Amino acid sequence: MTKKCPIYLIVAIIATIAIGCNSDPIETETLQYDNVAVTGFSLQEDDSVLANLDSVFFSIDLNNALIYNADSLPKGTKINRLLVTINTSMVSGVDITMSRVGQNDTTINYLTNPNDSIDFSNGPVTVRITSYDKTVVRDYKVKVNVHEMEPDSLYWNELAKRDLPTSLGIVTKQKAVDFNGQAVVLASDGTAATVAVTSNPGDNNWIITNATLPAGADVNSFTASDDALYIVGGDGMLYTSDDFAANWASTGVSMGYIYGAYGNVILGNRKTSDGSYLMVTYPASTEMPVADTFPVSGTSTMLKFTNEWSTGMFAVMAGGRDAEGIVRGDAWGYDGSSWARLSDKLPALEGMSILPYYSFRVNSNNWKATKFSTIIAMGGRDRDGEVHKDVYMTIDQGMHWSKAGQLLQLPGYIPAFSDAQALVFETVMHARSGANVWKPMESVKLPAWYRVMKLTSASRAVAPVTQWDCPYIYMFGGYAADGSLHDTVWRGVINRLSFKPLY
């Protein structure tokens, strides 16, 4: 039989010639693993362990000899007696070695005993593949990942709360805004005021300075555009600051209420002498009457984003009180030129908090999690003055709302509130645990009968991960039913977003 020169020898010869032709040596190493490659790996069907267990997808990293399921199995899944299917080319040996705590390792010959169960509960197992001619051997690490906590819970207990960032003693009014990627917190005790600034609330590294506000300023009207800060003064005029609230100047525009900022444009309204309301913008434009059902106060923060249905930026706000004094459950959208009612299915509340975030749905047929851009609304005050803490969500930019599932609801130790601000900032994660300056709190308790099928989304990386970004929610302040301020900052995250990506 004619012997052929292996391809790796040819590559090595070419590399040697190339090195001789260059002044700088180049190290070249080429490995050939085709004859010991694992071409497929799966778990066998076992409904007593998990429905559709054989549909769990496993990634095979031939370069690093790793096999793993990026979409982890639900919390509590038993993985100590699993049957596996391993696909290879023509090989002479497939040996599976399991480590056992306090015992000797156990090795199974998969080719002769393919129906022996494998115990993955003590960590990765080793699968050794031996080539058909027994000249090449390669070990693969195989890991079956299982969640240690409910991944789709909006989790507030690990890094639960801090006090509002201020040097004042007792704070009575407060408002937090995102100003060009920085959290800016304005606080007042009724006489003096401070402003605190940080690039990331999770670092707890605030720069706190005194602030001089316009006379009678409404702290709850504090708003950030792309290039300045704004507030409504006691004289019903709009004031602006470009130095983090240290100094304020009147814009000359009468504005009694601010909806929010659309780019560099401030949107609001003013009440006329006859009791009607006019839409007002700054820089000034033609004033228009406020529609009958449109809110004139008590709206949520105006949330801005882009979507597939609009050619530019789109804004959404929820709830509020109309000119007749009726508290409404509407969501309104703004496209830069006009407002439109998107939905009337929210509860009738004013002072709701809304934020852009994510939610996940898991397909129990293949255990894949799909990530959705989601608007979350929570808290608020009803027409009787009662405050709430229910969480609502929409995945279509405000057109259809529903009450969020139990895992997204706020835990019992967070009190009901209105007019809190929820800002989202990414934190670079280096480990599962967070900064120890956050006070631990108890997590949401699920009833014993509640079964959850939850998995992580596909791996968010293509190489071993040492750090990754995680979007945390920071909820500032808010008011109780008696009007007193909650002097707290809560930090929350959907669990799966904080999990370390596998590879």
Q: Any idea which residue has 């490995």 for tokens?
A: 31
pLDDT tens, 429-449? 654 443 334 444 444 443 333
Q: What is the DSSP string of 208-227?
A: EEEE-PPTT-EEEEEEE-SS
Asked if 207 and 196 count as a contact pair (C-beta separation under 8 A), the reply is yes
d(CA 502, CA 174): 40
Asked if 411 and 442 count as a contact pair (C-beta separation under 8 A), the reply is yes
Neighbouring C-beta atoms of residue 427, cutoff 10 Å: 20
Structural domains of the chain ordered from first start: 1-30 (no CATH), 33-143 (2.60.40), 147-163+350-503 (no CATH)
Tokens of 357: 């975030």
Tens digit of each residue's pLDDT, the chain (503 residues): 444 444 444 434 444 444 444 444 444 334 455 689 999 999 999 988 888 888 888 999 888 899 998 878 877 889 999 999 999 988 999 999 998 777 788 999 999 999 999 999 988 899 999 999 898 999 999 999 887 766 777 888 545 589 999 999 999 999 999 999 999 999 999 999 999 999 999 888 999 999 999 999 999 999 999 999 999 999 999 999 988 888 899 999 999 999 999 999 999 999 999 999 999 999 987 799 999 899 999 999 999 876 555 567 889 999 999 999 999 999 999 998 899 999 999 999 999 999 999 888 777 676 677 888 899 999 999 999 999 999 999 999 899 999 998 888 999 999 999 999 999 998 876 544 433 344 444 444 433 333 333 333 333 334 445 566 788 999 999 999 999 999 999 999 887 777 665 44
Q: Any idea which residue has 């609801």 for tokens?
A: 409
- What is the value of pTM for the model shown? 0.71
Asked if 54 and 84 count as a contact pair (C-beta separation under 8 A), the reply is no
Q: What is the DSSP string of 74-138?
A: PTT---SSB-EEEEESSEEEEEEEE--TTS--EEEETTT-TT--B--TTS-EEEEEEETTS--EE
pLDDT tens, 444-468? 443 333 333 333 333 333 444 556 6
